[in-house]
């Protein structure tokens, strides 16, 4: 009996203990459901890392008591028409981080705009910008592939469009994706950009640049480079899109980050049309600019340059000139003319010129600055064409039209009353090659007809002159061009005296013409003062 009683007492104790544990666990669960922690990922600038930080609802600036609506954003799940309900937002690290960082970058851009003197309310959007989390099409491994792009799209901005004075735009942030079957450490791609401040800052900047650079600017080299620059600048850290700047990239093996403080190179005009060729050049160059002039001044003057850049221009060379002008104007206002000029010249010497770009402040160091500032007529020494051209046989070169942005020497081949437009396209693709101080002795170019239909004389010409035109055209085509390419190599020799930075004579030579032992060559005459 005694043993039975002891066993009964033990059973009661065990039951009570288990019940107490269950009650305790249930209590914790109920408490946790009621008291969900609202945390965000935020960047700690001093230690260059992310921290999980508790926030209050007030820090999000919510504009609805039921849905995820901020002052200038409505945040949706996927393609849902209505914003995310707040009960789903509470305790959700991704949703909270996105809203918190959007508000943070918005505040920073408002400060930049005010400091720049802009009266535009650039951070206000009417209607609100639609932000889509877990957007299904930002990147699909089965529907999109580009061999040139190693960094696949996991976030994108739908280009802003304007209607009746209002801007409509959307930001999409994609979830992770996995290769079919292989869901392993090596193949699983985990990069949920909605939790990556650097990606959020990049996409938000597209909203700003889209207003000034045009609806088609997104995806072009300048807009992409500026967005990367501001993403790094707002973090105050030159590395982007890695586990260091985005906690969600911890196991990302298929994408490598880049550091703006290491990757620069030289300007290549091809990035204007194919920004995928070089993602890093523009943001890296702007980061060097930032290191020279200072963080806040760089952010402000780059924005000023954005607002003054013509969307129809060939973007980058004009942007650099506009940026140097903005820097000079801003520093002159703050520190005076002398300090402004000294800084701009220092910028040219240390940042722009070494990487193949220039502004108006360094034009005197470029070969084009010493070309003739007018048209120059030179008698033609081609003996064969003298048979056709009894009255006039000369070439009229328009040297004043040659520039860094348009390195093309245009001229007319004048034959009596007939003019055949020609051009010499200077070949150097890297503008550094145009520096006088770079031991520059000659420029290479290619002779071409200026018109694609050069074989068709102007119908306004007399019948006699149309016949003369065709004779000259066939002569040039036969003796001055490689038949397959319809072009001819030309070299412009730049002859200097003791001062190598000053051109004293320009001598032009064509490549050998057919079987002729003579080269077509002549020099351009100098005026008495040494200038054309």
CA distance 395 to 392: 10
The better pLDDT of the pair 288, 164 is held by 288
144 within 8 A of 185, measured Cβ to Cβ? no
436 within 8 A of 423, measured Cβ to Cβ? no
Residue 8 has a pLDDT of: 52
- Label the pairing between strands 503-510 and 488-496: antiparallel
Does position 82 have pLDDT exceeding 80, yes or no? yes
Range 205-230 average pLDDT? 83
CA distance 341 to 364: 15
459 within 8 A of 452, measured Cβ to Cβ? no
Range 254-278 average pLDDT? 72
Does position 344 have pLDDT exceeding 90, yes or no? yes
Residue 474 has a pLDDT of: 92
CA distance 40 to 91: 9
Does position 253 have pLDDT exceeding 70, yes or no? no
Range 245-263 average pLDDT? 66
End-to-end, the C-alpha distance of the chain in Å comes to: 127
Tokens of 471: 């004779």
Residue 430 DSSP label:
S
Residue 359 has a pLDDT of: 87
Does position 66 have pLDDT exceeding 90, yes or no? yes
Q: Residue 120: which residues within 8 A CB-CB, separation 6 or more? A: 113, 211, 307
The closest alpha carbon to 54, from 93, 86, 84, belongs to 93
- Residue 229: C-alpha distances to residues 11, 95, 112, 336 (Å): 69, 25, 14, 28
**pLDDT tens digits for range 427-475:** 765 666 787 766 778 888 999 999 988 999 999 999 999 999 999 999 9
**pLDDT tens digits for range 290-309:** 999 999 999 999 999 999 98
Q: Confidence band (pLDDT; 50, 70, 90) for 515? A: low
């Amino acid at each position: 009996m005694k043993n039975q009683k002891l066993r009964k007492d033990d059973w009661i104790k065990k039951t009570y203990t288990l019940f107490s544990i269950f009650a305790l666990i249930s209590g914790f669960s109920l408490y946790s459901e009621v008291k969900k922690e609202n945390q965000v990922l935020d960047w700690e600038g001093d230690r260059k890392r992310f921290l999980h930080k508790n926030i209050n609802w007030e820090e999000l600036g919510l504009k609805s008591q039921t849905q995820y609506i901020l002052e200038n954003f409505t945040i949706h799940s996927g393609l849902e028409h209505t914003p995310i309900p707040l009960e789903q937002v509470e305790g959700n690290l991704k949703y909270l981080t996105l809203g918190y960082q959007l508000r943070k970058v918005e505040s920073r851009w408002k400060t930049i705009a005010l400091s720049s003197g802009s009266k535009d309310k650039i951070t206000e959007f009417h209607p609100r910008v639609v932000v889509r989390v877990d957007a299904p099409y930002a990147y699909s491994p089965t529907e999109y592939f580009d061999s040139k792009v190693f960094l696949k799209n996991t976030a994108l901005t739908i280009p802003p469009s304007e209607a009746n004075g209002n801007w409509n735009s959307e930001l999409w942030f994609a979830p992770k994706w996995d290769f079919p079957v292989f869901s392993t450490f090596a193949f699983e791609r985990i990069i949920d950009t909605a939790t990556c401040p650097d990606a959020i800052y990049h996409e938000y900047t597209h909203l700003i640049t889209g207003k000034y650079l045009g609806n088609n600017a997104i995806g072009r080299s300048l807009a992409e480079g500026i967005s990367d620059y501001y993403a790094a600048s707002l973090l105050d850290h030159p590395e982007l899109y890695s586990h260091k700047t985005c906690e969600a990239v911890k196991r990302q093996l298929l994408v490598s980050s880049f550091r703006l403080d290491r990757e620069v190179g030289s300007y290549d005009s091809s990035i204007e049309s194919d920004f995928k060729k070089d993602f890093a050049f523009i943001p890296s160059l702007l980061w060097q600019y930032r290191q020279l002039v200072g963080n806040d001044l760089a952010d402000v003057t780059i924005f000023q340059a954005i607002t003054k850049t013509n969307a129809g221009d060939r973007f980058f060379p004009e942007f650099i000139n506009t940026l140097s002008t903005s820097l000079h104007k801003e520093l002159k206002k703050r520190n005076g003319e002398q300090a402004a000029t000294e800084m701009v010249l220092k910028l040219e010497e240390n940042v722009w010129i070494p990487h193949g770009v220039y502004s108006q402040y360094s034009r005197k160091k470029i070969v084009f600055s010493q070309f003739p500032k007018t048209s120059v007529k030179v008698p033609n020494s081609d003996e064969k064409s003298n048979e056709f051209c009894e009255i006039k046989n000369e070439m009229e070169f328009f040297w004043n039209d040659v520039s860094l942005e348009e390195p093309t020497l245009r001229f007319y081949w004048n034959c009596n009353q007939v003019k055949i437009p020609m051009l010499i396209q200077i070949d150097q693709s890297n503008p550094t090659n145009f520096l006088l101080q770079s031991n520059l002795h000659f420029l290479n170019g290619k002779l071409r007809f200026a018109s694609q239909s050069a074989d068709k004389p102007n119908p306004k010409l007399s019948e006699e002159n149309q016949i003369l035109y065709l004779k000259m055209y066939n002569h040039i085509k036969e003796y001055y061009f490689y038949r397959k390419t319809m072009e001819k190599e030309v070299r412009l020799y730049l002859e200097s005296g003791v001062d190598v930075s000053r051109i004293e004579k320009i001598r032009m030579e064509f490549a050998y013409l057919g079987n002729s032992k003579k080269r077509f060559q002549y020099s351009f005459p100098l005026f008495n003062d040494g200038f054309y």
